[in-house]
Amino acid sequence: MPSPRSARLIAVVTVMTSLAVSAPYGTAAAASADTTTAKDRTAAAGESTESTWAGELGKEPTSLTELRREAQKAYKSIEDANRALVARQKKFGAVEKELAAKVQRLQQATAELNKLRKPLSELVSSIYQDPSLDGISPFFRAGNGTTTLRRIADLDHLVAGRNNVLDDAIKLLDKQQQLAQEAQELRAASLLQEAQLNAQVAALRKRSSTLVKSLTRALIKIGVKIGEGTKGAGGCDPTRISEAEQYPNGLLPKSILCPLPQAGEELRADAAIAFADLNLAYKKRFGTSMCVSDSYRSLAEQQAVYYRRPGFAATPGKSNHGLGLAVDLCGGVQIFRSVQFNWLEANSKRYGWVHPDWAYSSPFEPWHWEYDPKLGSLL
Ligand SMILES: [Zn+2]
């Protein structure tokens, strides 16, 4: 029968272990913990998460789209794991605070008891041990029978009071030690869990970085010119596209953009990778790469186009070109119902690309195609 304390600790550990196991890409944490129980828990958690890891390794991504999806997924898992880490730290912080408050209250109670215990003990001892009284208490010597009886009762009461105070003090000290130990065990479990989560985040970062590198290599292989100087060491990185939302239309930073197989053209990383994949399929069908006349348009470029040909370009700061999610195509696609247009209309969705509804009529722009991140995220 577990004590309430150990029952509580078991409950906490069970919750933490189940969380660690259910997390994607979880790996065995090589956490060095001081206690044996903590080590046991590490081993148990490691065993079950390793099988998850092996399952994921069973199907390594092969296509550009799969690589992009896996890289984005890994990055999302990092963010999730970090959030879990913060939440757990908060939770344990609250539990520890609660325990500390309890210990403090107990210490105060013990101090109060100690204050009472001292005079009580002294009084009772002096009554019993005064050598001048020949072993007879002053209560017995003085007064008549009734008074003596009453005083004996008083004495018994005092002795009982002293014993009660001592018993209470001992109980409180035990409780205090128990709570202090509970706090320590919770702290150890919390540190272990934190170490496991940190190890998980590190493994996820490694996987995300490996996937981005594979992706970059695959893109270079199909002719995308990823300049070492311009894109930094990250290459073509689709994992940080969620940051794109904080930048205004036409002001995307270079780190979020990625070149297309068509020299001089670029799009937001996820759209660019999807486009490169679509381009491979197009090339297989028509024997030539897609013809791109326009892609990402900075705010300055949008303004230049707008003032040169008003009515033919979206209002500056409103175009999906400024979000790095749209291309204008040539090579036949720009002709409505051409074989190229029809092929693209039938096949682009499988790569997250669409011809938006408005472009069929108002304004009629058969050349304008867009990447839909929502659609792309489902691939
Ligand atoms: Zn356009």
In this structure, what CATH number is given to the domain that contains residue 291? 3.30.1380.10
SS3 content of the chain, % helix, strand, coil (to 5): 70, 5, 25
Q: How many A from CA of 368 to the centre of ligand 1?
A: 4
Q: Is residue 340 part of a domain?
A: yes
Range of the domain at 314: 250-377
- Which of 219, 240, 262 delimits the end of a domain? 219
Alpha-carbon distance of 250 to 298, in angstroms, equals 4
Please list all protein residues whose beta carbon sits less than 5 angstroms from ligand 1, which is an ion. Answer: 328, 368
The per-residue pLDDT for range 13-65, each reduced to its tens digit, is: 444 434 443 334 333 333 333 333 444 444 434 333 433 443 344 567 778 98
- Do residues 128 and 196 share a domain? yes
Instruction: Classify 183 as helix, strand or coil.
Output: helix
Q: How many A from CA of 109 to the centre of ligand 1?
A: 76
The residues near 278 (Cβ < 8 Å, ≥ 6 apart) are 290, 347, 348, 351, 353
Q: Is residue 177 part of a domain?
A: yes
Q: How many A from CA of 330 to the centre of ligand 1?
A: 11
Q: How many A from CA of 313 to the centre of ligand 1?
A: 7
For the chain, the domain total comes to 2
Q: How many A from CA of 302 to the centre of ligand 1?
A: 11
CA distances 175 to 48, 112, 115, Å, are 36, 16, 19
The per-residue pLDDT for range 109-122, each reduced to its tens digit, is: 778 777 777 777 77
- Do residues 211 and 285 share a domain? no
Residue 53: what pLDDT?
A: 40
Q: How many A from CA of 176 to the centre of ligand 1?
A: 72
Q: How many A from CA of 320 to the centre of ligand 1?
A: 8
- Which of 219, 235, 266 delimits the end of a domain? 219
Residue 166: what pLDDT?
A: 78
- Do residues 70 and 172 share a domain? yes
- Do residues 152 and 259 share a domain? no
Q: How many A from CA of 140 to the centre of ligand 1?
A: 111
Q: How many A from CA of 257 to the centre of ligand 1?
A: 17
- Do residues 203 and 259 share a domain? no
Q: How many A from CA of 339 to the centre of ligand 1?
A: 20
Residue 129: what pLDDT?
A: 65
- Do residues 132 and 199 share a domain? yes
CA distances 181 to 81, 187, 208, 341, Å, are 29, 10, 40, 72
Alpha-carbon distance of 47 to 40, in angstroms, equals 11
Q: Is residue 123 part of a domain?
A: yes
Alpha-carbon distance of 357 to 239, in angstroms, equals 29
The CA angle 29-32-34, to the nearest 5 degrees, is 135
- Do residues 254 and 210 share a domain? no
- Do residues 145 and 274 share a domain? no
Q: How many A from CA of 327 to the centre of ligand 1?
A: 6
- Do residues 128 and 189 share a domain? yes
Q: How many A from CA of 216 to the centre of ligand 1?
A: 26
Q: Is residue 242 part of a domain?
A: no
Q: How many A from CA of 130 to the centre of ligand 1?
A: 107
Q: Is residue 274 part of a domain?
A: yes
Q: Is residue 142 part of a domain?
A: yes
Task: Extract the runs of DSSP E, i.e. beta strands, from the chain.
Answer: 257-259, 266-268, 291-294, 326-330, 353-354, 368-371
Q: How many A from CA of 193 to the centre of ligand 1?
A: 50
Q: How many A from CA of 359 to the centre of ligand 1?
A: 9
Alpha-carbon distance of 105 to 115, in angstroms, equals 16
Q: How many A from CA of 264 to the centre of ligand 1?
A: 16
- Do residues 82 and 8 share a domain? yes
**Chain centroid offset of residue 115 CA:** 50
Q: Is residue 225 part of a domain?
A: no
Q: Is residue 205 part of a domain?
A: yes
- Do residues 271 and 147 share a domain? no
- Do residues 184 and 259 share a domain? no
Residues 331 and 288 sit within 8 Å (Cβ to Cβ): yes
Residue 52: what pLDDT?
A: 40
Q: How many A from CA of 212 to the centre of ligand 1?
A: 28
CA distances 20 to 85, 193, 239, 316, Å, are 11, 8, 23, 48
Q: How many A from CA of 315 to the centre of ligand 1?
A: 12
Q: How many A from CA of 61 to the centre of ligand 1?
A: 32
DSSP state of 294: E
The overall average pLDDT reported for the chain is 77
The residues near 207 (Cβ < 8 Å, ≥ 6 apart) are 25, 74
State the residue for tokens 């002053």: 138
Q: How many A from CA of 280 to the centre of ligand 1?
A: 21
The segments of the chain whose pLDDT lies below 50 read 1-7, 9-57, 135, 229-233
